Structure 1
Amino acid sequence: MLSESDLIAIRRHLHQIPELALQETETHQFLLETVKKMEQKFLEIRNSEELPTAMMVLVHGFDPQRTIGYRTDIDALPVEEQTGLPYSSKHPGVMHACGHDIHMTVALGVLSYFSEHQPKDNLLFFFQPAEESESGGKQSYELGLFHGRWRPDEFYGLHDNPDLPAGAIGCRMGTLFAGTTEVNIDLNGKGGHAAYPQDANDTVVAAAMLISQVQTVISRSIDPIQSGVITLGKIDGGTIRNVIAGHTRIEGTIRGLTQKMIETIDQRLKDICEGIGRSYNMDVHLELNQGGYWPVENNPQLTKRFISYMQSAPNVNFVETAPAMTGEDFGFLLAKFPGTMFWLGVDDDSQLHSATLTPKEEAIQQGVDAITGFLEYRMTE
């Protein structure tokens, strides 16, 4: 079984070889080699031709009543590391700035334990590529990776949190992470001379009205007790001051705590774009791209059981947390399988996606112990 020093060494190696979404070949190979060094008596390893950097490991239980899934993400971000650590990224411009090296290491620690202590139920460990982009969770589901004995009855996963004490477990009933949708709006009118507006169709003016109307969606179409965000962060129209713009593009993002809320916001945006198009006699094209970044909506029954265990476990520091408006593609899998996502505290002054993120490594063993204890408790029910 992997010791704490083994786990720290694994984490530091993973930290040095970060790779972007769907490019995690070196990471995949290291994970595969690490798992193959474990006791193989209860393990079955599966790779996928359709999603080559994904890896699944099934731990066969001695009296399985269910298959419990555990997911970890394996990709990194296009960030130039600035931590100054001796084990900093060896890949220029790429860094585990979201802590997925911590995620993978904890998963390996839990898997290592159950490779030597056969569980009652089947356990499915899913090492998932492309969380940060490319919707790896959605891809894995749509490619049919979860079928037959590889289909989990329930799914769990963690995300590290620099705002919580090292090793603390954070969770909540309801939504943990918001869902996200990319918004692209193209307004196509007619360009012309600034002195002859009657002969043109100004997309900048139409865009200004559209942006103003969008500001009313959250304040007038969403229950104020709930929460949603629309940010239009980029606008590009025109070429020079004395030419009326025939095309303007607006780019932004939607965040919502439930899929129903996101769909409501989507519909209001469609209505507004259609109305602006008619009012200004121009084509207004709206593109909404959510991919797999659905809200992480925790299953009520499973999450209540998870929180109850973590609150009562003698060596676990449990913290009830507020929902976060950041996105996570585990939300798509939780829309397909009941499950729970939770936080693992890593106590750092730097935030996620920061070039200086330096998680506390003592969180790793505490995370392994808490998750192992919960899974053993879950299998007694």
Structure 2
Amino acid sequence: MPIVNRVADLQPEIQAWRRDIHQHPELLYDVHRTAAFVAERLKEFGCDEIVTGIGKTGVVGVIKGRKPANGGLKVIGLRADMDALPIEEETDLPYASKAPGKMHACGHDGHTAMLLGAARYLAETRNFGGTAVVIFQPAEEGGAGAAAMIKDGLMDRFGIEQVYGMHNGPGIPVGQFAIRTGAIMAATDAIDIKIEGVGGHAARPHKCIDSVLVGAQVIAGLQSIVSRTVDPLESAVISICEFHAGNARNVIPQTAELRGTIRTLTEEVRSLVEQRVREVVSGVAQMTGAKIDLVYERGYPVTVNHPAQTDVATRVAREIGGEGAVAETPPMMGAEDFSYMLEARPGAFIFCGNGNSAGLHHPAYNFNDEAIVYGTSYWIKLVENSLAA
């Protein structure tokens, strides 16, 4: 295939960009070096417009096709995320992170490099009608950078009509893709619970309100929500991952703190779970006499692929990888802030195989450079097919 062959020629350069970004990971919105690197490459490629500072540190490049639009779709957006994670790298790679406590453990270095490679090719050939908008986003890892870019006018300013995202997938063979129509990744909400009981001597529990016991009752009550409130054919996860109380074996602590995460795949289940969490916390407080404060914070919404755009993405992936290269993935309970973009415009989110690598967010994870040709070619073919003159 001409596109794949040309991208194979570009692969060493794209790989070099990826490894440079990997060595210099940056967190959340503090991606100034990465954003400058991206903007400089887009300038070298000859993009028609380059805008920085969207969503604080996001970068957008505009590439116009050399053919007139065919009267249908005129502007398509392609998004990559740029930020890393607060993880100490454990890979011993020659290009390992030079920033202590920071690491590209989710492959955003690869996402950025592949979209840069596509931008170079598209600016060089311009074999399409209409406009391709390449979007480089900060703060996917918990900072809602997608929402910040949208708030800064991303969609309206550049006239984006459809938007697409891509993520690498450990466990998916290189050269293969995975996608599904509808909910593909979960909504994520956070809960913080502060319990105030009555502390005292461990030998006199009857004179206390034991915050540890209260916390245990809260946890047990929360776990019953999924098993006894949510329809078994629906999906929900409640995980309490922090429980802090006490500092001595013979003292019943006055206070305890719980923190956790909630994942759901529909807005209806999301609202139901929130309601039941509040009821459980209130009920335990009334039953035990403890004071319990709950902070329930809604995070990223459900990532929902639109049917027509999912079909487009599937056809393109098959063109790149072959007829058997696309699998239908089950929904995943991880979250992704590309969900905000899919709320704003029709589009689809796809996974590109990373092979038998360590999992995402693992200190031994590394983006597989062999995936570059497939991911970059997917972006190019998506533009050329969607914006065919």
What is the identity, as a one-letter code, of the residue corresponding to 2:199? G
Corresponding residue to 1:290 among 298, 305, 310: 298
**Given the alignment of the two structures, is residue 161 of structure 1 paired with residue 172 of structure 2, yes or no?**
no
What is the identity, as a one-letter code, of the residue corresponding to 1:44? E
Q: Quote how far apart the aligned CAs of 1:194 are.
A: 3.9
Residues 253-299 of structure 1 deviation map (CA, whole Å, 9 limit, x = unaligned): 111122332222111101111112222233211112233x2221111
Q: Quote how far apart the aligned CAs of 1:371 are.
A: 2.4
Structure 1 stretch displaced more, 113-122 or 177-186: 113-122
Structure-2 separation of matches of 1:85 and 1:243: 48
Task: Name the residue aligned to 1:305.
Answer: 312
Task: Name the residue aligned to 2:27.
Answer: 20
Task: Name the residue aligned to 1:374.
Answer: 382
Task: Name the residue aligned to 2:258.
Answer: 250
**Given the alignment of the two structures, is residue 107 of structure 1 paired with residue 107 of structure 2, yes or no?**
no
**Given the alignment of the two structures, is residue 346 of structure 1 paired with residue 354 of structure 2, yes or no?**
yes
Structure 1 stretch displaced more, 4-13 or 145-154: 145-154
- SS of 1:289's equivalent? strand
Q: 1:234 to 1:314 in 2, by over 3 A?
A: closer
Structure 1 stretch displaced more, 100-109 or 310-319: 310-319
**Given the alignment of the two structures, is residue 11 of structure 1 paired with residue 15 of structure 2, yes or no?**
no
Q: 1:214 to 1:109 in 2, by over 3 A?
A: same
Unaligned 5+ segments in structure 2 are 1-5
- SS of 2:142's equivalent? coil
Structure-1 separation of matches of 2:176 and 2:104: 21
- SS of 1:275's equivalent? helix
Aligned 8 A contact 1:294 1:329 in 2: yes
Structure-1 separation of matches of 2:159 and 2:360: 31
Aligned 8 A contact 2:63 2:131 in 1: yes
Task: Name the residue aligned to 1:131.
Answer: 140
Corresponding residue to 1:33 among 28, 32, 40: 40
Aligned 8 A contact 1:176 1:342 in 2: no
- SS of 2:194's equivalent? strand
Task: Name the residue aligned to 2:49.
Answer: 44
Aligned 8 A contact 1:258 1:297 in 2: no
What do you get for the CA RMSD once the two structures are aligned?
Answer: 2.2
Structure-2 separation of matches of 1:103 and 1:260: 32
Task: Name the residue aligned to 2:58.
Answer: 54
Corresponding residue to 2:231 among 223, 241, 256: 223
Task: Name the residue aligned to 1:330.
Answer: 338
What is the identity, as a one-letter code, of the residue corresponding to 2:146? G
What is the identity, as a one-letter code, of the residue corresponding to 2:336? E
Structure 1 stretch displaced more, 82-91 or 67-76: 82-91
Unaligned 5+ segments in structure 1 are none
Structure-2 separation of matches of 1:96 and 1:87: 11
Structure-2 separation of matches of 1:198 and 1:78: 44
- The residue correspondences of 1:152-231 to structure 2 (distance < 5 A) are 152-231=160-239
Structure-2 separation of matches of 1:284 and 1:12: 48
Structure-2 separation of matches of 1:216 and 1:357: 34
Task: Name the residue aligned to 2:3.
Answer: none
Q: 1:229 to 1:314 in 2, by over 3 A?
A: closer
Residues 292-346 of structure 1 deviation map (CA, whole Å, 9 limit, x = unaligned): x222111122213322443466647222222222221112222222211110112
- SS of 1:26's equivalent? helix
Q: Quote how far apart the aligned CAs of 1:163 are.
A: 0.6
Aligned 8 A contact 1:347 1:359 in 2: no
**Given the alignment of the two structures, is residue 146 of structure 1 paired with residue 154 of structure 2, yes or no?**
yes
- Scaled by the length of structure 2, the TM-score of the pair is 0.89
- SS of 1:75's equivalent? coil
Q: Percent identity?
A: 32
Q: Quote how far apart the aligned CAs of 1:189 are.
A: 2.4
What is the identity, as a one-letter code, of the residue corresponding to 2:197? G
- Scaled by the length of structure 1, the TM-score of the pair is 0.91
Q: Quote how far apart the aligned CAs of 1:224 are.
A: 1.0
Structure-2 separation of matches of 1:277 and 1:33: 57
Task: Name the residue aligned to 1:120.
Answer: 129
Residues 84-139 of structure 1 deviation map (CA, whole Å, 9 limit, x = unaligned): 22222222222211111110111112211221233312222110011112221122
**Given the alignment of the two structures, is residue 96 of structure 1 paired with residue 104 of structure 2, yes or no?**
yes
Q: Quote how far apart the aligned CAs of 1:151 are.
A: 4.2
**Given the alignment of the two structures, is residue 270 of structure 1 paired with residue 274 of structure 2, yes or no?**
no
- SS of 1:7's equivalent? helix
- SS of 1:127's equivalent? strand
- SS of 2:45's equivalent? coil
What is the identity, as a one-letter code, of the residue corresponding to 2:35? H
Structure-2 separation of matches of 1:29 and 1:241: 53
Residues 326-381 of structure 1 deviation map (CA, whole Å, 9 limit, x = unaligned): 22111222222221111011213311122222333121112111222122222249
Aligned 8 A contact 1:169 1:345 in 2: yes
**Aligned length, in residue pairs:** 376
Q: Quote how far apart the aligned CAs of 1:75 are.
A: 0.6
Structure-2 separation of matches of 1:313 and 1:362: 14
